[in-house]
Every structure is written in structure tokens, then in C-alpha cells.
Structure 1
Amino acid sequence: MEQNTQLWLFPKANTPTVTLSAGESMAFSFIECFDGKFSYEVWLRCKTERNVKLGLYVNAKTIYEKMVIAPTEDVCWTQFGCFQVVKGEHELIIRNNDDIDFTFEGALVTRDSGYIRCGVADEHRLEIIKGRNIDEVFAESGMKFSEEEPDDVRRDRIEMLMKQGFVERPDQDAAENRCRNGVPLGGVGTGKVELDSDGVFTGITVNNNFDVPLYKTDGSFFAVKCGDHARILQKVNYNGFPFPTVENIDFKGVFPTADLVFTDNDIPVGISLKAYSFLPNNDVKNCVIPAAVFDFTVENPTDKEQQISLMFSWENLLGTGGSMGLKSKDEGNSSFVMNTWNPGFTWSDRTGTYQKKNAENSITFGIDSTSENLMSIGDYTILCTDRNCRAKKSWKACDGKEFWNEFLSGKFTETDYVGTETGYGYIAGAICSDFTLLCGEKRTVTFILAWNMPNYFDYQGNNIGVYYSNFFSSSKQVAEYAAENKDRLLAATSEIKNAVFSSSLPEWLKGKLINDMFPIVTCSWFDKAGHFSINEAPTGMMGCLGTMDQRLACNGIYTNFFKDLDRMEMRLFALNQGENGSISHDVGFGVFNETPRGGSWSDLCSSFIIQVYKDYTYNGEYAYLEEMYERCKNAVKYQLSTDRDDDGIPDVGSGLGTTYDTYHWYGASSFVASLWLAELRCCEKMAEDMNDLAFAEDCRKKFIRAQKSAIEKLWCEKYPYGNYFISYNDVPNAKVSENCFIAQLAGAWAAKLLGLGDIFPKEMINQAIRTIYERNVTLNNMKLMNDETTPEDDRDGYGYTFIQYDEVYFGCLAIYYGFIDEGLDVFRRVYDATVGSPWNIVLTHFADGNRTGLPYYMTNPASFFIIEALSGFVPNLVSGSLRIDPNINENSLNLPLFSPKLWLDLDYEKSEYGEKFDLSVLRAEENVCFKNFTTECEKKVGSVFVDGQAVSFEQNGTIVSSDVLLDFCKNKNFTITVNYESEK
């Protein structure tokens, strides 16, 4: 039985529309036929002139009581809700919970669907793509397709995609909620191979197919033979031959490493695997190594010796690939796959694939091809560091019976198969290490997978190449370099992880922080000329590079760990700045653009300026400020030009959106206003350092005026549940929204991050944080958060949230202002909602916890900002001030403090007598020293000591500042003690 992916609840042939009166319901029944738990989405085709509140109920359970359907200009498909069910019969009810009639022309359940009992599921095949049908999308991209694709045509297409590896399951394409996900192994801009908890290689993009991954292969796996028993080291088998799988795998993934322990009753030896790739701090050459390393440890706990064969097989995938911006250049081998609501174009022609032995411990994979799809043409190498190996140069990947029997026999025969696309005649090659383990003996065997795919084409058809080609000319060279340097590079790669895991953070948060770094590999583009950028959402965003608004929330790891890459992308944004001063949303869709383009959103300018200031102060490099300063000033001028009502705040509205592009705000927006205030503080400081005193004074005046306008227009004290800044207020046009928006104080977070103080009176910010937590986090027992909540307790718009923004713009903000538990609660909610797929976390989630859109999202490293929030760490190498102001409920804290030029280990203790800061250097560049230490104390301070020596200090309110030299190049440890004044 094949499972449908779209099921029509309605319309029926004789019922073109349905109108639900106030309080009226409509019920549907359906059957889920498959074992498992499946996510469903409900879509409604409708047009409304005002917000309409609907209820969604499944099996008598309330999913949404008052989901708001927002007004639309025309009839279109609107996503109504999401729920999960298991195998069995279910009832779905849609009820009008408003006081007006609601008319809709269609209702559809989509994604993991069963069989509908009413409707015409077999006759309708409409793909829902955010309000557009699939015809429109394919018309834009030039591919012919019809919503009436017959079932047999679709079935054949999906079967072909499964054979080629683009689809894992037969019941649909490759929707992001269903595809496998593992730890990505690879380098920056190299593509990657993921290793998942079943031991499966998946999410493979080594063929420069960044937006069209391969999710399965028949011939890529590890295997072990011990005595007469053999297993592939996977829990599932894709091959046409029934390879026996291992019974159990204990898996722990901490990017970019995966640790697996394999157990099976018929395999008496202990087998463990550490898989990893290289990401050493700010070491560009060694961050772009296109390789993955697999260190196996085999131990014999028995009382007799064991004969072991450990094997690595890899399928030759050359000739297979795809893109979201380019169709196949060859005739007859093109298709498409739906990973999200946008199609990815696929191609596959493995005709002419072959392997050659370099030695018994090394095989190189190649292809003799006339294909013009050069992105998929290159070479791979698999290598074993053990010299006592035997190689199987080629075997038929579609049926492993002959190959498996040879593995069991202990001897490979010589075969020289050549791959074909016809009949999916794919081939693979394997290396096997044979050895004897004595009683109690342990042995390590290392396999390496390397790739070399030198041709990468942007969406304009230009061959821009790959950056690693500047260092390597073949996969064999890569494999040998990795083998020679793996221990050194693994140690360097592990420094960030080791620092975080040595801290006092909760275990779940330690793992979350490190795994949230995955976009540096999964999302990165890095061409041969040295253009670097992060793809906003591979498989979803059509090659959107950079995304300045998202960058604000996630730039921390790039500034601190990959400074050179960070500046490469920022300089691209500088080149893309519009002639009117506006900052572009991105640096190109599928192309590295280097000409002025600009944008319209005000928050893009704020993001750019805040990041320039952060880089400048964290690195203390005046030359960088000189390079960017005029661009920052021009961005401010552009923003002022959008102030339509002369209130000192850049406006939003028609043609002037924000990063929250699904929300339609007008006039003064609390989100934009808060960022504008933080930005003005940055500009004032930069202007002073540039001796541009007139602009500095102008920024001070603009700050005062904008702050006054924001409070007058946006501060709300009328509701009993609390005070806050409303979403927007467009006074001239009488448009106002008193909704409570979760990121209304994003700029307050940015100001705290950079040590720029409070952008609003502190008590106002405290009141708003309390209200946001109640309205946008805990209201109605939400599992996640809701971006915008109405005064009537409804979830405005779609009832979803951008979870990465929530972590920073609310979670970190709350921690800075002493709401520690509330801030950590946001992070924990995100963790709980995403822990099942930590290396493919999407942007948008519904408040009930269900994920909705944009996979592999770039902003996941946002979570790293919690370190600054908890520690109050502000390293300003321009002013020479080091600020550490821990925000914790406990009396002690151990945290790593990261900045581009200095990593510290902070060991903090607080008692009734004072506070102690033990600072130890983890990493320091030359000339890293501070001349001032600042912290915040609620109590009166009596003395300050540095390494046992009393030093002078000043206390202004709660701010304690001491002029003291902290030269971290000369001294690796400092102990700073702040003693409270005796109350006697």
C-alpha cells in the first residue's frame, strides 16, 4: 500500500464552497495506515477581509482554540495548523470560533497523510507551496510540470529518485520533516556526508549538490567479520541483498564528531567508532579539507584470540547531483525533487564510473564521462592507514550477494566493473583490514573518505570553483594529508568543544551549543577566488547567501572562531550596499554579487552597523573601522529617509519590511525602534573614535528623540496582564497593533551584548520581559513560543515562531536583566523541540512544538550568545575595558569566554563577603591586554584586589570599575577579588 502525501478533505464534486456560521463545525474522518507517528498540516483555501478565529480539534483534543486566519487580498491557500497522529482512524473538526461567517473553497491535509474517507484524494494532486500551486513555481524555474501528474508518473519519478539516492522513502519526495539527519562531516564550503544514529551515510552533498542532498546509497557502509559471523555496521539495509545488520548502536553526536558503539550477540568483540572532520579555530586552510575520518577501535574481551575483518565500502556517486538554480545540462537525465516548497533540480548519469587501486589500502573513484554537469565530475579516495589490507576495486552496488560472499570467504576476486545509469548499474569499491586480536588486546584502524569536486557553478552558470582547490588537486592528496595530520587537527578542532564541555553549563545545553554550529559546514559556500557566505537554508531558500538580518543573531561563532571568514562575508555586504546607503538582504541568490544592490528593510542597516561595531571593539582594529565607517553613516542616512512621520524612528509598512517578513507592520515598530536605538549608540561610539564629533553629537540627539517617540507611541500600560511595547503604531494612518511581540526589545539585547547600557529605562525593560514571558512563552501551555500574541490571548498570524531569534532576542535579553530561569526556559524549549534532529533544525516552528519550514537553517548558532549573557562578558580592545558581570541564580559559575583574540576560562564565585573572578588563558594572540576591569555589584564595595594586590576602584551606583593592567600575553592567570564593604 502506498501512502498519499496530500489528501483532499474538501471540496466534493457537488460542493464548491462551505460556509461555517459562528460556532458551526465541520468534521472529517481519515485513516493513517502506517506504523509510526506522523506530522500533518491542514491548509485552507479562502479569502478574508478581517482576522477570523478558527478552532482545530483532532480526536476530541484541542489543537488550536482560536487560530487567527489573517486577511488576504485574494483567494489563496493558508496554512491553518499542524498536528501529529499514529496509525489508526482519526476525526478532524474545523470550527468557526468567531462571530462572523467563514467561507472556504478547499481544505487539504498534507505531508504524512493516510487515506481520506470523504473527498477525492485520488483525483487531486495539488502541491501546496506557501499559497502557490506547483505550476507557478515550475513556470518560474522553466520546468514543465502539472498539478495533474498521474499517480503512476509520480510513482515512477519517486522510484527513480530513490534508486539515485535523492529520496529515502517511497511515499513522498524528501520533505525536511522526514529525511534522515546525522552529524555533518566535511569542511567549510566542501560539501559533507552525514553519519546518523543508525550508522547510515546520509545527507550527502560532496558532489557540490548543496541544495539537493543524497539521502541513501546502496553501497556505502562499514562492515565487520568476526569468526564466522559478519554484520554491516548499520541498523538498516538499503541494498537489494539482505546484508545482516548489527543489533544495536549507541550513538552520540557532537559536531563535527560522532561516537558510535556497536554491539551484537554474534560479534564477541567490542567495536567503537569515532567519526570526525576538521574545523580548527580561524585556520582557513585546515577548515576546508574535503574529508571525513573514521577511527575504529576493536577490543577483544574474550579468553581466546579473534580473527577480525573490518571493511569500508563506498559507492561511486560521481555523475549524480543537482541544484536549486540550474537544471541538468544533459538531455534525458533530469528530474526534480521537492525538499521543501521549492523544487530542486536533479540529474544522474553514472555511466563510465570506475575505481582504481592506488595500493591494497587505497582506492580512487573516477568517471569517464561526456556529461556537461561538471559539478558532479571529480574523484573520491578511500584510504586505510593499516597496511595489512585487501581491496575490492569494484562490485555491483545494486546486489551485494557476490560481494558479501567474498567478504565472508576472506578473499576478494579481481573485478573491473564500469558503472552505467541504464538499469541503475551503479558500482562501489571497498577496503578491508584483516587482523588477529589476542585476549584483552585492542587495536585502532582508521579509514578516510576524501573527495575532490573542483567545479562549482553559480546560478548564473559561471564556474566559480571551490576554495579547497587552492590547496589540493586530487582526493588522493587530500586523503594522505588527512591521514598525516588527523591527530593534530582533531585536537585543534576539539578545543571549542572541550572548553564548553568543561564548563558548569547543563549537559543538555553544552551539547546544544556545539551541535548548533553545524551551518558552518552544511550551509557554507566558498569559491576558489575566496568569496565566502552562508546559505540561509539549503534545500529551501534557492541559494540565498548571507542574509544580513539573520546574521545579527548568529554571527557570534563567526566573529569568535572564524574571524577571517566573517570579514569576507561582511565585505561582500559592503560591496552590495545600495547607492542610497541601504544594506542588502543578502549577497546574492546562488551568486556572489559584488555590485551595489541595497535593500529596503531598516533592520538590515541596524544589523550591519551593530556587527561592524562588534568586530571593531572585539578585535581592537582601527583599520577595520576606517574601512566601514562611511558605509555605516550612509546606512543611517538611508534609514532616516524612511521616517515618513518625522518621529525619529525609521518606519515600516508598504515596501519597508523586516526580517519578520510574514508580519505586516506599519509606522513605528518596537522591533525596529529598539534596534535603531542600539545602532545609534554604536554609531556614537564609532564617531567619537573617528573624531567625527558632529556625527557623534547628532547620534546622541537622535537617540534621545527616538527613545522619547518609542515610549510615547509604543509603551502600553492599559492591560492587566502587564506592560510592554506594542508591535506597531502608525499614527498618521491610524493603524495600530497592540499585540505583544516576542522580539520587541531586540535592540536592548544588542546594547547589553556590547556594553552600551540600557536603551530604555531599566524598569520598563523589566516589566516588558515579564509580560513577554507570560504572553509569548507560557500562555495557554505553549510547548514553544509564539511570536505575536493579541490582547485577546490569540496567536496572531500563523501562530508560529522563529526559534533562533527567540533564544537571542528574548532568552538572552531576559538573562541579562536577571530573569535567569525565564531565559533558560526558552533555550530548553527549543532544545526539547529539536533534539531529535539537531543537525537539521528549521527556522519556523508552531507554538505547539511542530516544525514547519526552512531546513538546515543558518541561524542555529544563535544559541552561543548565551555565554555572553550568563557571564556578562564584554571584551573591548578599543577602550581597553574588560567587563565581566555574571547573571546567575547560583553562587558559582564556570564558563569559557570566547572572543576573536582571547579565550578565557572563567571560574566565578560569589559569597556574602564578595565576588571572585579566576581568569585563565585558553588562547591568546599577541598584544591582548586590558587596562580596566568592570563589573556590577548591588552591594557597596570596600576593596578590589588583583592577584592579592589592592588596586584603586570607583563605584558609580552598581557599576564597579578599576583601572588595572591585565596583560594576558605575559600572565596566563589573574584572580580578581571584589570585596563588599562590611555592614558593621
Structure 2
Amino acid sequence: MDSDWGQRSSQELMSRYVSKETGYKVPKEGWRICLAHEFKEKRKPFQAKDVSLSNIFKHVGLGVRYLKWWYKKTKIEKKAPFIDMFGAQPLNQIYGAPLGGIGGGTITRGWRGEFCRWQLNPGMYHYKTVNTNQFTVCLRRDGNTVYQQVLSVEHPPAFQSWNWGYCGEYAFYHALYPRAWTVYDLPGQNVTLTCRQISPIIPHDYQDSSLPVAVFVWDVENRNDFTLDVSIMFTMLNGSGLKDDESGGHWNEPFHLEKDGEAVMGVVLHHCTTVNPYTLCMAARHQPDQVISHQTAFSPKGTGSGLWSDLITDGRLDSPTGSSKPTAKGESVCAALAVSCSVPAQSRNTLEFSLSWDMPEFTFGSRERQHCRRYTRYFGSGGDASPSLSHYALTHYTQWERSIEEWQTPILQDGSLPSWYKSALFNELYFVADGGTVWTELPEDADVSGGLRSEDGGLPAQPDIIKEFGRFAYLEGQEYRMYNTYDVHFYASFALIMLWPKLALSLQYDIAGAVVQQDPTVRLHLMNGQCSAVKTKNVVPHDIGDPDDEPWQRSNAYLIHDTADWKDLNLKFVLQVYRDFHLTQDAQYLQDMWPICVAVMDSEKKFDLDGDGLIENSGYPDQTYDGWTVTGPSAYCGGLWLASLCVMCKMATLLEKQDSCLEYRDMLDRGSAAFDKLLWNGTYYNYDSSKRNFSNSVMSDQCAGHWFLKASGLGEGEYQAFPKEKIQRALKSVFDLNVMSFAGGQMGAVNGMRPEGVPDRSSVQSDEVWIGVVYGLAATMIHEGMRDEGLRTAEGCYRTVWEKLGMAFQTPEAYSEKNIYRSLAYMRPLSVWAMQLALNASHVDQSTSAQTKAAEQS
């Protein structure tokens, strides 16, 4: 991070630990911050009072209806609203790389060392710093303790006997997800500790990537001329800071597990709630020159003097045998684990800890049915897997790191890529695990398409890919709590299809199964006050449900609009189907998806009201920009429509559906002519064709359809929907206006810009920057040979979010030029991986061009 650290000590420390002098090298690339750093800018979440007066008048009805619905949901049903407009999450600039694999829950450790964000119950977050969860170091020389310090810069009210307040100027944090490093220089001790945090996030690995576990490797460097005995103590609360920590019945027990010649020891914390019980497990690997000790139970209340004195006496804990008694109601309990070793003069040693959590089966908020997590396929569903998980992690993490380095190194060593981009690419990937993610086994009685079989336009009851690789879902955002929100997944999906393609295809089969189903239940939609069915047949759902209800059983938790009339959802499905086929070459997938694509395109045709081959928008917000009105043919939805017709022609050709190919080609030719006539103004495509005051605004996302064609290996020759020269001209206009004429060119691309060079303020979304849209725009520029412009565009977002606003590991959906952000920790910024796909394609194009040129010369 390019910030003023303000202290020479931390600068020297970072320089030394990035250099090759040390045995425990911290990588050069990533996001880095001094533990004493304070972000100057403190933004507020978007609230109703931030809406302009004209927009307030437009949405009075929505406000009244939402208030009634919110009251019923929160006060009568006692549920959490899927979007809480009255309880937006405030900005806490504290978060670091989350712990754990994909789909088993996550725990976030902040960059100052706090355990501060919890998602163990699927999709449901709470933001609580648990002060008892800490690492403490004890240094001893010649039998005497010379230094004992909690490795926390905080001064919490808990445990007053402990030595809090480590000086953050002597330490820095470095994140390159899925790993992170915290380097502590112990003042006056000539000792440096490096804590390396590792989670099993490994591309194309569908076993270890599912494990709910993380490893902390503590590297100890002794620069003294004498030997030191060093102990690291790990303390943990049985719980996560919620009220149920004191519900009673929780207990801890020590364990020792030896397998394949390796032994691990630790403490299991049994959290025995009525709903979704789980265990936490602290463990350490036994080494011949190290001593592992523990304290099975101690109270988080009081001064903590007993545990502190126990460690300070000899660097070890008492290690009582047997389990603790179950807690009484109103009481909570903690445990501690310590590892001690000798570190000779001018030498190093390593201590290893793991943290695992085991909630093998769970229910969503409706409590209707049990779901079994993916990792239980390998570790069982009996609720006793945490010791085995810990053993596996401690004996396999070196293999994980080799796999991570093999994946990351080619990109990190590419000198043509800027450092900020490398940090963005890997660190934004946190959301795949920490997006409320669930990865479950398919229930034996599940039928993904509701009884409609392939011969009738449906799917197999249990498609092979879901049976083999499980079901996958992640939230639109930690504050926008809907699973697999499809208009947003369109952008984010690049991370999955490039790194875990089987999960991407599994998600697509689930969406396809939902397409052919219907839910005729009538409900009120909050935007227009009209009633309509929850789910209409043969249209793509907005989402597959709310984790506080029953996802997969009841889709479309989003009830602001009736999304059956949205113009982009069906098209985004078609475009993703072909993109996914292009990248995987899975012929069975293409065969299975074809009838679903035909069905949704048939549903989409009705939006071409005048028969000119081009769909029209309704005059309401009817696409992913759900607060930005669009009327008639539009650049965004019209472009997605033309791109979809293009890929339907391609798929029909591959599947030898000649009649279908001719039908879609006819619509494409007519629609392209109408699109050009109605929207092209000589320098870019107008926002829409309505001739309203803002219809000629410059939309940053106007080339989204072309982006997907290029990402799918199309967009030229026979499968071209847009003239190349017009796309490039439009992208240049977007760069000149939406990027360089906005915030000094330093904050990415604003969604809407007026041709005179001021933001479009006609809606609450037109003058926002959507980070995920910007990364997609940058990818489009790169595909079109505008590499420098694409990188400059995306850089503004990264610098703003990670370096200026302190939103590390909580990248929001949106921010405005000043004061406001909206929806922390959002799915869409995973589209940064679309930039990598574009860069990969440009490398191939350059290589092919060079080979052709060499052949011609020879």
C-alpha cells in the first residue's frame, strides 16, 4: 500500500522482511499496512437522506411500502430483512483476509489482529471483535521471563492483568489472499515474529478448498547472541461474541490425535446451541524440540490474572486433563493453547497452530430441512471432525502453499503488470469464501427442475455435475442478503469459471432448473405497489433465495421489482452459457442448456414491441441498475440482446440447429440495424432512445454485451454484433468522460456522465461508481487493445477502495465521488478476474501475431 507510514521503524522492518535477507520472505506484491495506520477519510453508508429531493418524490410510494414490509419482517416475524435500509453496516476500517475454505463458514481476522467478523451460520453475519481471541508471546532467558505481550494494539476492558497495547509502529500486515503475513518487531528484544496465515483456497481443487480450517505459522527470528525460549499462546472464546455464548451447556476438552506418524494436540470447544451447533478447535503440531500445553477452560470475565501468571511463570500452561464442566446459563468459557520452543542465538524456529470449525449440517432460517456441507464427504457429518480437520491442515498446509504459489507466481512475476493490479486480482477473491458462501451436498430427494425432464424442456432430476461437485451459492453482498443474485453474478462469474469451473457449471444447472419452474404465489412488489407471481415460468430468477428463509426451495427473495419483466436476466443466462462452454468445452453442458436458452429467449422476444428485432425497456428500472429508469431501446439491454442473438447463432451452429440459426440471424441483422440507427450518435451509444433530458448520457457499461462476446472468443467476423470501430470509439468516449473527467481521473468510471462532462444525477445510481462494473469495463478495453486505458480505469477503483477509504476485504458495490458508499462486501468486484481473462487473451493474440510475422519473414 502506497501510504505514509510515518515511522522509520516500520519502514525498515518492511524493507528487511520483503528482502531476500530473511528466511521467511514476505512477498513484494499485495496489500500492506502498518498496524499504527489510521485512515483519514471516514465515509458513511448511503441512507434515504442522501437522495436528492427530486428522487425522493419519485420514490415516496416505495418508501412507505418498504417501511410497512420492514416493520412486519423485523417486529412481527422476527426476521432480518434481505436489505435493511434502516440498518446499513457502518464502515469499520479493520478487516483482513478471512479464514477458511469455501462453503464451510468463515472467520475474519483483522489487519490489527482482531477476530472481528463471523459467518458460521450460513449467509448470516455478525460484526463483533472478540477481545479474548488473541495471540500472546512470552520470551524467557536463563529460566526467567523477560518479555510477555499480547500481540494486539488495542486496550480493551477485558483481562486488565494482561499486557495490552503493542506498539503498532513496529509491525505491518501484508495480504495476498488466501495468505496473509503479520510481522512484529518486539521493541528492545532483537526478536521478530512473522505470523503467516494460510487458508486452503486452491483453484481446481474441490476437496481441500472446501475445508473450514486455517493455519497460523509463526516464524521466530532471534538476532541476539544468546538463546531464548519462546512461547506463543493462542486464546479463544467458546463462541463468537453472540448472546448464545452464555446460553449454557457449552464445554471444552483437550485432545491428542496421532496419525501417519504425525501428532497434533489442542482443545476442542463444543458450542452446543439448539440450532446449528458447532465446534471450534485450536491445535498445534507436535515437534520433538517443542512443548505443547493448554488450559482447558478459563473465564472471559475478570482480570485474567490466573492464565497470565500461568504463562509468565515458565512459558507453559498447566495442561489439566479431562473436559470442563458444561457452562451454566449466563456463563461463557474460553480455552488457551501454548507452544514453546528454544531459539538459539542468531537463529530461527517455527511454531504451527491451526484453527478449525465444524458445523457439518445446518438449517437455513426457515428450519425446514437439514443441509450437509461439502467437506463432510471427506470428514464425516458426525460433528466430531475438528481434530481430524486440524491434523489434516497441519500436515498438508505446505502442499497448499506450493499449489498457491504455482498458481500465483506466473502473474506475480509478470513485470508488465502493475503491483496494484496483482493485489486487486488475488485479494478481491476473498468474496468467493466470505460471501456468505455455502457449498453443500445435493439432497437425495432433490429435483433441480421440479419434475420437468430433459425431453420436456427441463433437466435431469440430479445432473451429474451437481451430484459430483455439490451445490454452490454465494450472496449478492453481506448487506444485500440474496443467494446467487444473477444480474450481479454475470459480472462476478469470471472468478468461478476460471478457477473453480465445476462450481460455475453447478450454479448454472441450478439456475436452469429454476428457470423452468414457477411459483404462482402472489405478492406485493414494493417499487410499483402491484401484485404478481413470485416466479414466472421460463424466465431467469433474480436470486435463489434468502438464507434467513429456505434457498433453492423459494427463489426471488428480492421483492422490490417484479423481475419477470427485467430485460437483462434472461440474456445474461444465455451469454454465460456460451462463455462457460467456450472456456470448458463441456459438450454435455451445452446440450443440456440449449433448450433452457431457447425458452428464455422466447420469453425475451415479447419485449420487442415494434418487431424491429430490438427489445425495448419499459420506462421503469428493469435491469441490474434497479434505481435508474430506462425507456425504449437502450445501450445496455439492447447490447446484451444483440450479443445473446449472436451466441444463440453460434450455439445453434454447433448443435446443428440450422432453422434456429437462421431465425436468430434474422433477428440479429434487423436488431443491429435498429440499434445503430436509434442509439449511435457518432461517438458513443446513447443511454436510451427516449429523447428524454438524460437519454444521451454516456453509460460506462454500454459495451457489456460486446465484452461477453470477446470473453467468449467471438465479436468478430460472422459472430460480430457491433462494428469494431464504433466499439472502440465508444470506449474512448467512456474513458475521456466517465473516467478522466470524473474526480480527476482518480476514482474509476462513474456510471453515467453527461456529454458536457458532469455526472448524470438523474438517479441514485447514475452518479455512483460500481467497482465491479469498472473492472468489467477495464476488461473490455483490454480486449479492444486499450490496455493502458483499461488499467488506468481499474486502478482508480483499487486505490480508492483499498488505500484511501480503508475498505480492504469489504469492497462495496458502490461509492460516490464524496462522502457516501453503498453495500459493503459485495459480489460484483470479483469481475476483476475478467481483466485477467482479457490479459490472457491479449498475450495469446500477441504470441500468434509474432509467430505469423516470423513465418512471413522466413
**Alignment TM class, shorter chain as reference:** 0.7 to 0.9
Q: Residue 565 in 1 paired to residue 503 in 2?
A: yes
Report the AA paired with residue 317 of structure 2. F
Is the aligned partner of 1:290 residue 2:212?
yes
How far apart are the structure 2 equivalents of 1:594 and 1:490? Answer: 38
Q: CA deviation at 1:692?
A: 0.5
Query: 1:830 Cα shift?
Result: 0.7
User: Match for residue 149 of structure 2?
Assistant: 231
Paired residues for 1:885-904 under 5 Å:
885-886=845-846
The partner residue of 1:140 within 73, 85, 101 is 73
Using the TM superposition, give the Cα deviation of residue 828 of structure 1 relative to its aligned residue in structure 2, in angstroms.
0.5
Pairs within 5 Å for 1:687-766: 687-717=652-682, 723-730=683-690, 737-756=695-714, 757=716, 758-766=720-728
Offset from partner CA, 1:275-302 (integer Å, 9 cap, x none):
1111222221111111110111112111
**Once structures 1 and 2 are overlaid, which stretch shifts more, 263-272 or 777-786?**
777-786
Please point out which of 830, 834, 841 is paired with 1:861.
Answer: 830
Q: One-letter code of the match for 1:38?
A: K
Aligned pair in 2 of structure 1 residues 871, 979: CA closer, same or farther (>3 Å)? farther
- Counterpart of 2:631 (choices 666, 687, 693) is 666
Question: TM-score, normalising length from structure 1?
Answer: 0.69
Could you give the per-residue CA deviations for residues 752-809 of structure 1, whole angstroms, max 9, x where no partner exists? Answer: 2222224322222222222222332222535423211234534322254353343344
Amino acid at match of 1:457: T
8 A Cα contact 1:707 1:759, kept in partner:
yes
Indicate which of 158, 163, 177 corresponds to 1:243.
Answer: 163
Of 464, 467, 492, the residue aligned with 1:554 is: 492
1:39 is matched with 43
Q: Distance in 1 between matches of 2:507 and 2:540?
A: 13
Whichever residue aligns with residue 348 of structure 2, its letter is K
User: Bigger shift: 826-835 or 355-364?
Assistant: 355-364
Q: Is the 8 A contact 1:208 1:376 kept in 2?
A: no
Aligned in 2, Cα 1:640/1:656: closer, same or farther, shift over 3 Å? farther
Q: 1:217 to 1:252 in 2, by over 3 A?
A: same
1:230–1:37: structure 2 CA closer, same or farther, 3 Å change rule?
A: same
Distance in 1 (CA, whole Å) between partners of 2:226 and 2:40 is 43
Amino acid at match of 1:840: Q
Residue-by-residue CA offset, 1:283-324 (whole Å, 9 max, x unaligned): 211111111101111121111111211211121117x66xxx
After superposition, the Cα gap between the structure-2 partners of 1:594 and 1:643, relative to the gap in structure 1 and judged at 3 Å, is: farther
Contact 2:362 2:371 in 1 (8 A): yes
TM-score by length of 2: 0.78
2 CA distance for matches of 1:133 and 1:600?
20
**Percent identity over paired residues:** 18
Quote the Cα distance in structure 1 between the aligned partners of 2:789 and 2:39. 38
Deviation at 1:35, TM superposition (A): 11
| Aligned counterparts of 1:221 and 1:478: Cα–Cα separation in 2 | 21
1:432 paired residue number: 338
Classify the secondary structure of the residue corresponding to 2:335: strand
Q: Given that residues 575 and 596 in structure 1 are in contact (C-alpha distance below 8 angstroms), is that contact kept between their aligned partners in structure 2?
A: no
Relative to structure 1, is the Cα distance of residues 379 and 194 closer, same or farther in structure 2, using a 3 angstrom cutoff? closer
User: CA separation in 2, counterparts of 1:679 and 1:435?
Assistant: 63
Say which SS state the counterpart of residue 73 (structure 2) adopts. helix
Deviation at 1:510, TM superposition (A): 0.7
> Structure 2: how far apart are the matches of 1:830 and 1:438?
47
Q: Distance in 2 between matches of 1:621 and 1:454?
A: 31
Aligned partner of 1:831 among 775, 798, 813: 798
Match of 1:773 in 2: 735
Larger RCO, structure (CA 8 Å, separation 6 or more): 2
Which letter does structure 2 place at the counterpart of 1:581? N
Structure-1 separation of matches of 2:50 and 2:439: 43
1:571–1:829 CA distance, 2 compared to 1 (3 A): same
- The one-letter code sitting in structure 2 at the alignment partner of 1:427 is V
Compared with structure 1, are the counterparts of its residues 809 and 192 closer, same or farther at alpha carbon in structure 2 (3 Å cutoff)?
A: closer
Report if aligned partners of 1:728, 1:737 keep a CA contact under 8 Å in 2.
yes
Aligned to 2:249: 352
Q: Secondary structure at the match of 2:239?
A: coil
State the SS of the aligned residue for 2:98: strand
1:224·1:232 contact (CA, 8 Å) conserved in 2? Answer: yes
Give the drift of 1:536.
2.8
- Counterpart of 2:813 (choices 834, 840, 843) is 843
Residue in 2 that maps onto 1:460 = 366
C-alpha distance in 1 between matches for 2:430 and 2:841 = 25
> Which of the two has higher C-alpha Rg?
1
CA distance in 1, matches of 2:155, 2:118: 17
Aligned residue for 2:284? 383
Q: Is the 8 A contact 1:314 1:430 kept in 2?
A: yes
Q: Give the conservation status (yes or no) of the 8 Å contact 2:491–2:773.
A: no
Distance 1:680 1:246, change over 3 A: same
3-state secondary structure, aligned to 2:255: strand
Q: Give the Å deviation of 1:144.
A: 8.4
| C-alpha separation in 1, matches of 2:375 and 2:358 | 9
Counterpart for residue 496 of structure 1: 407
Distance across 1 between alignment mates of 2:656 and 2:77: 60
More strand per residue: 1 or 2?
1
Distance 2:592 2:48 in 1: 51
Classify 1:491/1:35 alpha carbon distance in 2 versus 1 (closer, same or farther; 3 Å): closer
Distance 1:316 1:46 in 2: 41
Secondary structure at 1:664 match in 2:
coil
CA contact (8 A) 1:748 1:759 kept: yes
Q: Deviations over 1:707-729 (max 9, x none)?
A: 11111111124xxxxx2211112
Q: Distance in 2 between matches of 1:208 and 1:191?
A: 7
2:73 and 2:328 mapped to 1: Cα distance? 29
Gapped regions of structure 2 (runs ≥ 5): 1-37, 79-85, 141-145, 258-263, 443-465, 518-536, 557-562
Aligned residues of 2:579 and 2:708 also touching (Cα < 8 A): no
Task: Describe the superposition over 1:908-940 as per-residue Cα deviations: whole angstroms up to 9, x where unpaired.
Answer: xxxxxxxxx3xxxxxxxxxxxxxxxx55xxxxx
Given that 1:351 and 1:418 are in contact with CA atoms closer than 8 Å, whether structure 2 keeps it comes out as: no
The two structures, once aligned, show a CA RMSD in angstroms of 3.1
| 1:272 alignment partner AA | T
**Aligned twin of 2:546:** 589
Q: Which residue of 1 aligns with 2:522?
A: none
2:28 equivalent in structure 1: none
Larger deviation, residues 296-305 vs 803-812 = 803-812
Is the helix fraction higher in 1 or 2? 2
Q: Distance in 2 between matches of 1:232 and 1:226?
A: 12
Q: Does 1:218 align with 2:115?
A: no
CA distance in 1, matches of 2:499, 2:77: 45
Q: Among 669, 677, 694, which residue is 2:642 paired with?
A: 677
Shift of 1:706: 0.8
Number of the residue aligned with 2:227:
305
1:306 aligned partner, one-letter code: L
Counterpart of 2:360 in 1: which secondary structure?
Answer: coil
Which of these residues, 375, 390, 397, is aligned with residue 479 of structure 1? Answer: 390
2:267 is aligned, of 354, 364, 378, to: 364
SS at match of 2:564: coil
Residue 197 of structure 1, aligned match among 105, 108, 111: 111
Query: 2: distance between equivalents of 1:43 and 1:210?
Result: 23
Q: Matched residues in 2 for 1:978 and 1:605: separation?
A: 45
The 8 Å contact of residues 269 and 281 in structure 2, kept in 1 or not, is answered as yes
For 2:107 and 2:555, locate their aligned partners in 1 and report how far apart those are by CA, in whole Å: 36
State whether structure 2 residue 354 is matched by structure 1 residue 443: no
Q: Which residue of 2 aligns with 1:575?
A: 513
Give the Cα separation in 1 of the matches to 2:50 and 2:121: 41
Contact 1:812 1:823 in 2 (8 A): yes
Counterparts of 2:755 and 2:50, CA distance in 1? 25
- CA 1:279–1:349 in structure 2 vs 1: closer, same or farther (change >3 Å)? same
Separation (CA, whole Å) in 1 of partners of 2:249 and 2:509: 42
For each residue in 1:942-979, what CA deviation from the matched residue of structure 2 results, as whole angstroms up to 9, or x when unmatched?
xx85xxxxxxxxxxxxxx7xxxxxxxxxxxxxxxx635
* C-alpha separation in 1, matches of 2:493 and 2:626: 20
Q: Which residue of 2 aligns with 1:281?
A: 203
> Is 1:789 paired with 2:753?
yes
Q: Distance in 1 between matches of 2:190 and 2:135?
A: 17
| 2-structure distance, mates of 1:46, 1:259 | 39
Counterpart CA distance in 1 for 2:107 and 2:788 is 37
Kindly indicate whether the alpha-carbon contact (under 8 Å) linking 1:541 and 1:854 is maintained by their aligned counterparts in 2: yes
| Shift in CA distance, 173/295, structure 1 to aligned 2, threshold 3 Å | farther
Contact 2:621 2:627 in 1 (8 A): no
